[in-house]
Protein backbone atom coordinates (compact mmCIF):
# COMPACT_ATOMS: atom_id res chain seq x y z
CA UNK A 1 0.00 0.00 0.00
CA UNK A 2 1.34 3.43 -0.98
CA UNK A 3 0.12 6.41 1.07
CA UNK A 4 0.22 10.18 0.60
CA UNK A 5 0.15 11.90 4.00
CA UNK A 6 -0.71 15.61 4.05
CA UNK A 7 0.08 17.58 7.20
CA UNK A 8 -0.96 21.11 8.15
CA UNK A 9 2.26 22.90 9.03
CA UNK A 10 0.81 26.03 10.64
CA UNK A 11 0.84 24.53 14.13
CA UNK A 12 3.57 22.36 15.64
CA UNK A 13 0.93 20.01 17.08
CA UNK A 14 0.14 18.58 13.66
CA UNK A 15 3.86 18.01 13.09
CA UNK A 16 4.29 16.31 16.45
CA UNK A 17 1.46 13.92 15.67
CA UNK A 18 2.86 13.29 12.19
CA UNK A 19 6.29 12.40 13.63
CA UNK A 20 4.69 9.69 15.76
CA UNK A 21 2.73 8.42 12.76
CA UNK A 22 5.89 8.44 10.60
CA UNK A 23 7.69 6.20 13.11
CA UNK A 24 4.71 3.83 13.16
CA UNK A 25 4.64 3.70 9.36
CA UNK A 26 8.38 3.04 9.25
CA UNK A 27 8.02 0.17 11.75
CA UNK A 28 5.76 -1.56 9.22
CA UNK A 29 7.98 -0.64 6.24
CA UNK A 30 5.09 1.16 4.54
CA UNK A 31 5.69 3.39 1.53
CA UNK A 32 4.57 6.89 2.60
CA UNK A 33 5.15 10.26 0.95
CA UNK A 34 4.66 13.44 2.99
CA UNK A 35 3.31 16.81 1.88
CA UNK A 36 3.34 19.79 4.24
CA UNK A 37 1.63 23.14 3.77
CA UNK A 38 0.93 26.24 5.84
CA UNK A 39 4.44 27.63 6.35
CA UNK A 40 7.54 28.25 4.29
CA UNK A 41 10.25 25.59 4.04
CA UNK A 42 12.74 27.55 6.15
CA UNK A 43 10.28 27.58 9.10
CA UNK A 44 10.22 23.79 9.51
CA UNK A 45 12.64 22.07 11.88
CA UNK A 46 13.60 18.51 12.91
CA UNK A 47 12.02 16.97 9.81
CA UNK A 48 14.45 14.09 9.18
CA UNK A 49 11.88 11.43 10.13
CA UNK A 50 9.87 12.35 7.00
CA UNK A 51 12.64 11.69 4.50
CA UNK A 52 12.23 13.53 1.17
CA UNK A 53 9.08 15.46 1.97
CA UNK A 54 7.26 18.01 -0.19
CA UNK A 55 6.21 21.55 0.80
CA UNK A 56 3.39 23.62 -0.69
CA UNK A 57 1.99 27.03 0.26
CA UNK A 58 -1.51 25.78 1.07
CA UNK A 59 -3.95 27.75 3.19
CA UNK A 60 -3.47 29.08 6.69
CA UNK A 61 -5.14 31.24 9.32
CA UNK A 62 -3.90 34.74 10.17
CA UNK A 63 -3.51 35.74 13.82
CA UNK A 64 -2.53 38.97 15.54
CA UNK A 65 -2.07 39.71 19.26
CA UNK A 66 -3.82 36.55 20.38
CA UNK A 67 -6.78 36.83 18.00
CA UNK A 68 -7.80 35.04 14.85
CA UNK A 69 -8.37 37.58 12.06
CA UNK A 70 -10.98 36.42 9.57
CA UNK A 71 -10.32 39.42 7.31
CA UNK A 72 -6.56 38.83 7.11
CA UNK A 73 -7.20 35.13 6.66
CA UNK A 74 -9.52 35.77 3.71
CA UNK A 75 -7.24 38.25 1.91
CA UNK A 76 -3.90 36.74 2.90
CA UNK A 77 -4.18 33.34 1.19
CA UNK A 78 -3.20 32.70 -2.42
CA UNK A 79 -6.29 30.86 -3.62
CA UNK A 80 -5.10 30.67 -7.24
CA UNK A 81 -1.93 28.86 -6.18
CA UNK A 82 -3.98 26.60 -3.88
CA UNK A 83 -6.35 25.63 -6.71
CA UNK A 84 -3.44 24.92 -9.07
CA UNK A 85 -1.77 22.73 -6.45
CA UNK A 86 -5.00 20.79 -5.91
CA UNK A 87 -5.63 20.26 -9.63
CA UNK A 88 -2.04 19.33 -10.54
CA UNK A 89 -1.23 17.03 -7.61
CA UNK A 90 -0.59 13.57 -9.07
CA UNK A 91 -2.34 10.91 -6.99
CA UNK A 92 -2.22 8.11 -9.55
CA UNK A 93 0.33 6.03 -7.61
CA UNK A 94 -1.39 6.25 -4.23
CA UNK A 95 -3.82 3.77 -2.70
CA UNK A 96 -4.78 6.05 0.20
CA UNK A 97 -4.67 9.74 1.04
CA UNK A 98 -4.24 10.61 4.71
CA UNK A 99 -4.70 14.22 5.79
CA UNK A 100 -4.09 15.94 9.12
CA UNK A 101 -6.05 19.14 8.42
CA UNK A 102 -4.02 19.63 5.22
CA UNK A 103 -6.30 20.98 2.47
CA UNK A 104 -4.34 20.32 -0.75
CA UNK A 105 -4.14 16.55 -0.33
CA UNK A 106 -7.69 16.39 1.06
CA UNK A 107 -9.31 18.29 -1.81
CA UNK A 108 -7.15 16.62 -4.47
CA UNK A 109 -8.13 13.20 -3.15
CA UNK A 110 -11.81 14.11 -2.92
CA UNK A 111 -11.91 15.44 -6.48
CA UNK A 112 -10.25 12.30 -7.85
CA UNK A 113 -12.42 9.85 -5.94
CA UNK A 114 -9.60 8.56 -3.75
CA UNK A 115 -10.13 7.17 -0.27
CA UNK A 116 -9.32 10.14 1.96
CA UNK A 117 -8.87 9.59 5.69
CA UNK A 118 -8.95 12.77 7.78
CA UNK A 119 -7.05 12.21 11.03
CA UNK A 120 -6.46 14.45 14.04
CA UNK A 121 -8.39 16.60 16.48
CA UNK A 122 -10.69 18.46 14.09
CA UNK A 123 -12.80 15.41 13.06
CA UNK A 124 -13.73 14.92 16.73
CA UNK A 125 -15.99 17.97 16.35
CA UNK A 126 -18.26 15.93 14.07
CA UNK A 127 -19.56 14.46 17.34
CA UNK A 128 -21.13 15.80 20.53
CA UNK A 129 -17.99 17.10 22.23
CA UNK A 130 -17.75 20.26 24.39
CA UNK A 131 -18.00 23.31 22.16
CA UNK A 132 -17.68 27.04 22.79
CA UNK A 133 -17.73 30.02 20.46
CA UNK A 134 -19.05 27.98 17.56
CA UNK A 135 -21.31 29.15 14.74
CA UNK A 136 -22.17 27.97 11.24
CA UNK A 137 -19.04 29.59 9.82
CA UNK A 138 -16.65 27.88 12.22
CA UNK A 139 -18.41 24.53 11.90
CA UNK A 140 -18.23 24.75 8.11
CA UNK A 141 -14.50 25.54 8.20
CA UNK A 142 -13.84 22.70 10.65
CA UNK A 143 -15.59 20.22 8.36
CA UNK A 144 -14.64 21.45 4.90
CA UNK A 145 -11.15 22.96 5.25
CA UNK A 146 -9.67 19.49 4.72
CA UNK A 147 -12.54 17.10 3.93
CA UNK A 148 -12.27 13.35 4.18
CA UNK A 149 -14.68 10.54 3.49
CA UNK A 150 -13.35 8.73 6.57
CA UNK A 151 -12.92 10.98 9.60
CA UNK A 152 -10.88 9.74 12.55
CA UNK A 153 -11.08 12.22 15.42
CA UNK A 154 -9.04 12.39 18.63
CA UNK A 155 -9.87 13.97 21.98
CA UNK A 156 -9.25 13.70 25.73
CA UNK A 157 -12.40 11.63 26.21
CA UNK A 158 -14.47 9.44 23.92
CA UNK A 159 -17.64 11.40 24.75
CA UNK A 160 -19.51 8.17 23.87
CA UNK A 161 -18.49 8.47 20.21
CA UNK A 162 -15.95 6.68 17.95
CA UNK A 163 -13.24 9.13 19.02
CA UNK A 164 -9.66 8.02 19.72
CA UNK A 165 -7.28 9.08 22.51
CA UNK A 166 -4.58 11.56 21.47
CA UNK A 167 -1.29 10.57 19.90
CA UNK A 168 1.42 11.76 22.28
CA UNK A 169 5.19 11.45 22.47
CA UNK A 170 6.35 11.38 26.08
CA UNK A 171 9.50 9.33 25.71
CA UNK A 172 11.31 12.43 26.94
CA UNK A 173 9.63 12.27 30.39
CA UNK A 174 12.07 13.15 33.19
CA UNK A 175 12.43 11.36 36.51
CA UNK A 176 12.07 14.60 38.48
CA UNK A 177 10.78 18.13 37.92
CA UNK A 178 11.92 21.61 38.92
CA UNK A 179 9.10 23.13 41.03
CA UNK A 180 9.83 26.74 39.99
CA UNK A 181 10.26 26.06 36.29
CA UNK A 182 7.41 26.98 33.92
CA UNK A 183 7.37 26.49 30.14
CA UNK A 184 5.51 29.16 28.16
CA UNK A 185 4.38 28.69 24.58
CA UNK A 186 2.11 31.51 23.39
CA UNK A 187 3.27 32.06 19.79
CA UNK A 188 0.13 33.97 18.75
CA UNK A 189 0.48 36.56 21.53
CA UNK A 190 2.48 39.78 21.52
CA UNK A 191 5.76 38.50 22.95
CA UNK A 192 6.68 41.82 24.59
CA UNK A 193 3.40 41.70 26.52
CA UNK A 194 4.07 38.10 27.59
CA UNK A 195 7.53 39.02 28.83
CA UNK A 196 6.33 42.15 30.63
CA UNK A 197 3.73 40.20 32.61
CA UNK A 198 5.93 37.26 33.56
CA UNK A 199 8.86 39.48 34.56
CA UNK A 200 6.66 40.61 37.46
CA UNK A 201 6.79 37.10 38.97
CA UNK A 202 10.53 36.81 39.73
CA UNK A 203 10.14 33.83 42.06
CA UNK A 204 9.54 31.58 39.03
CA UNK A 205 11.71 30.86 36.00
CA UNK A 206 9.80 31.08 32.73
CA UNK A 207 11.13 29.33 29.63
CA UNK A 208 9.43 31.24 26.84
CA UNK A 209 9.39 29.63 23.40
CA UNK A 210 8.41 31.50 20.23
CA UNK A 211 9.45 31.11 16.56
CA UNK A 212 11.26 34.46 16.36
CA UNK A 213 12.96 34.42 19.77
CA UNK A 214 16.73 34.70 19.99
CA UNK A 215 18.21 32.58 22.77
CA UNK A 216 18.85 34.89 25.73
CA UNK A 217 18.17 35.28 29.45
CA UNK A 218 16.63 38.38 31.03
CA UNK A 219 16.35 37.89 34.76
CA UNK A 220 13.80 35.14 35.32
CA UNK A 221 12.90 34.99 31.63
CA UNK A 222 14.64 32.48 29.38
CA UNK A 223 13.83 33.33 25.76
CA UNK A 224 14.20 30.45 23.33
CA UNK A 225 13.45 29.80 19.64
CA UNK A 226 11.03 27.03 18.80
CA UNK A 227 12.80 23.66 18.63
CA UNK A 228 12.02 20.00 19.18
CA UNK A 229 14.64 18.62 21.54
CA UNK A 230 15.11 21.78 23.59
CA UNK A 231 11.38 22.18 24.06
CA UNK A 232 10.91 18.52 24.98
CA UNK A 233 13.74 18.69 27.52
CA UNK A 234 12.25 21.74 29.22
CA UNK A 235 8.74 20.32 29.06
CA UNK A 236 9.87 17.12 30.78
CA UNK A 237 11.49 18.92 33.74
CA UNK A 238 9.05 21.81 34.27
CA UNK A 239 6.29 21.89 36.88
CA UNK A 240 3.73 23.69 34.72
CA UNK A 241 2.93 24.98 31.26
CA UNK A 242 1.25 28.18 30.07
CA UNK A 243 0.17 27.87 26.45
CA UNK A 244 -2.56 28.45 23.92
CA UNK A 245 -5.34 25.88 23.92
CA UNK A 246 -4.01 23.76 21.09
CA UNK A 247 -4.68 20.04 21.25
CA UNK A 248 -1.32 18.33 20.92
CA UNK A 249 0.72 20.28 23.49
CA UNK A 250 -2.14 20.09 25.98
CA UNK A 251 -2.23 16.33 25.38
CA UNK A 252 1.49 16.02 26.14
CA UNK A 253 1.06 18.03 29.34
CA UNK A 254 -1.77 15.73 30.43
CA UNK A 255 0.31 12.64 29.66
CA UNK A 256 3.28 14.06 31.59
CA UNK A 257 1.15 15.18 34.54
CA UNK A 258 2.05 18.86 34.16
CA UNK A 259 -0.02 21.68 35.65
CA UNK A 260 -1.68 23.36 32.68
CA UNK A 261 -2.92 26.92 32.13
CA UNK A 262 -4.31 27.65 28.66
CA UNK A 263 -5.16 30.92 26.95
CA UNK A 264 -7.38 30.10 23.95
CA UNK A 265 -6.80 32.02 20.77
CA UNK A 266 -9.60 34.60 20.63
CA UNK A 267 -12.29 33.97 17.98
CA UNK A 268 -10.99 30.47 17.34
CA UNK A 269 -13.71 27.89 17.99
CA UNK A 270 -11.41 24.90 18.34
CA UNK A 271 -9.27 26.49 21.04
CA UNK A 272 -12.25 27.90 22.94
CA UNK A 273 -13.80 24.43 22.88
CA UNK A 274 -10.53 22.83 24.01
CA UNK A 275 -10.36 25.19 26.98
CA UNK A 276 -13.92 24.23 27.92
CA UNK A 277 -13.13 20.52 27.64
CA UNK A 278 -9.95 20.82 29.73
CA UNK A 279 -11.90 22.60 32.46
CA UNK A 280 -14.75 20.08 32.47
CA UNK A 281 -12.40 17.10 32.56
CA UNK A 282 -10.22 18.66 35.27
CA UNK A 283 -7.07 18.64 33.16
CA UNK A 284 -6.34 22.36 33.12
CA UNK A 285 -7.37 25.92 33.88
CA UNK A 286 -8.23 28.73 31.48
CA UNK A 287 -6.74 32.20 31.19
CA UNK A 288 -8.86 34.68 29.24
CA UNK A 289 -6.28 37.47 29.34
CA UNK A 290 -2.68 37.77 30.50
CA UNK A 291 -3.73 38.70 34.02
CA UNK A 292 -0.93 38.52 36.56
CA UNK A 293 -3.24 37.79 39.52
CA UNK A 294 -4.75 34.76 37.81
CA UNK A 295 -1.32 33.48 36.79
CA UNK A 296 -0.06 33.87 40.38
CA UNK A 297 -3.10 32.01 41.71
CA UNK A 298 -2.52 29.15 39.27
CA UNK A 299 1.18 28.98 40.16
CA UNK A 300 0.38 28.78 43.85
CA UNK A 301 -2.32 26.12 43.53
CA UNK A 302 -1.88 22.89 45.47
CA UNK A 303 -4.68 21.02 43.72
CA UNK A 304 -3.69 17.49 42.61
CA UNK A 305 -2.76 17.08 38.96
CA UNK A 306 -4.10 14.19 36.91
CA UNK A 307 -1.69 12.19 34.76
CA UNK A 308 -3.08 10.11 31.91
CA UNK A 309 -1.20 7.19 30.42
CA UNK A 310 -2.22 6.75 26.80
CA UNK A 311 -1.50 3.66 24.68
CA UNK A 312 0.45 3.69 21.42
CA UNK A 313 -2.37 5.18 19.37
CA UNK A 314 -0.22 5.83 16.29
CA UNK A 315 0.73 2.15 15.87
CA UNK A 316 -2.87 1.05 16.34
CA UNK A 317 -4.09 3.56 13.75
CA UNK A 318 -1.48 2.40 11.22
CA UNK A 319 -2.52 -1.22 11.80
CA UNK A 320 -6.17 -0.22 11.36
CA UNK A 321 -5.39 1.52 8.09
CA UNK A 322 -3.50 -1.53 6.83
CA UNK A 323 -6.38 -3.85 7.70
CA UNK A 324 -8.50 -1.81 5.30
CA UNK A 325 -11.84 -1.92 7.14
CA UNK A 326 -12.56 1.79 7.50
CA UNK A 327 -16.28 1.58 8.31
CA UNK A 328 -17.78 3.41 11.29
CA UNK A 329 -18.33 0.16 13.20
CA UNK A 330 -14.64 -0.60 12.84
CA UNK A 331 -13.80 2.90 14.07
CA UNK A 332 -15.94 2.29 17.15
CA UNK A 333 -14.14 -1.00 17.84
CA UNK A 334 -10.78 0.77 17.52
CA UNK A 335 -11.95 3.53 19.86
CA UNK A 336 -13.21 1.05 22.47
CA UNK A 337 -9.98 -0.96 22.43
CA UNK A 338 -7.80 2.10 22.88
CA UNK A 339 -9.84 3.71 25.65
CA UNK A 340 -9.79 0.43 27.56
CA UNK A 341 -6.00 0.86 27.76
CA UNK A 342 -6.08 4.45 29.06
CA UNK A 343 -5.07 4.83 32.74
CA UNK A 344 -5.74 7.97 34.80
CA UNK A 345 -3.44 8.60 37.77
CA UNK A 346 -3.36 11.22 40.54
Question: Which pLDDT belongs to residue 72?
Answer: 76
Say if CB 146 and CB 118 are below 8 A apart. Answer: yes
CA dist list (Å): 202 to 181, 206, 219, 220, 221: 11, 9, 8, 6, 9
Helix axes 269-281, 136-144, angle to 10 degrees: 90
Cβ count near 110 (within 10 Å): 18
280-288 mean pLDDT: 95
Q: State pLDDT tens for residues 179-212.
A: 999 999 999 999 999 999 999 999 999 999 999 9
Q: Set out the domains of the chain in order of their start, with CATH numbers.
A: 2-165+311-345 (3.40.50), 181-308 (3.40.50.2000)
* pLDDT, tens only, 214-265: 999 999 999 999 999 999 999 999 999 999 999 999 999 999 999 999 999 9
Strands 181-185 and 205-210: parallel
Find the range with the poorest average confidence among 40-49, 50-59, 133-142, 198-207. Answer: 133-142
Q: How far apart are CA 297 and CA 337, in angstroms?
A: 39
Position 64 pLDDT exceeds 70:
no
Calculate mean pLDDT across residues 64-93: 87
pLDDT at 172 over 70: no
Q: What is the pLDDT of residue 70?
A: 65
Cα gap 288→310, rounded to integer Å = 29
Cβ-based neighbours of 197, under 8 Å, separated by 6 or more: 290, 292, 295
Average pLDDT over residues 139-149: 88
Euclidean distance between the first and the last CA atom of the chain, given in angstroms as a whole number:
42
Amino acid sequence: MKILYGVQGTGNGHLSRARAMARAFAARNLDVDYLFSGRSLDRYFDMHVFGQFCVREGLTFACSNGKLSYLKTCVGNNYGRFLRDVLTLDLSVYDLVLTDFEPITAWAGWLRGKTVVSIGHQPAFDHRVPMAGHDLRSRFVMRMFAPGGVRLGMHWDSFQAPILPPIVNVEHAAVSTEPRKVVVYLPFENQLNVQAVLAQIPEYDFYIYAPDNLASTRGNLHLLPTSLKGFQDDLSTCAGVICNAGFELSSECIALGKRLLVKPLDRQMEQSSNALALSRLGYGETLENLQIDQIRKWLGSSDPVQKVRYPDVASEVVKWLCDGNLQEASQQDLSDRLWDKVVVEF
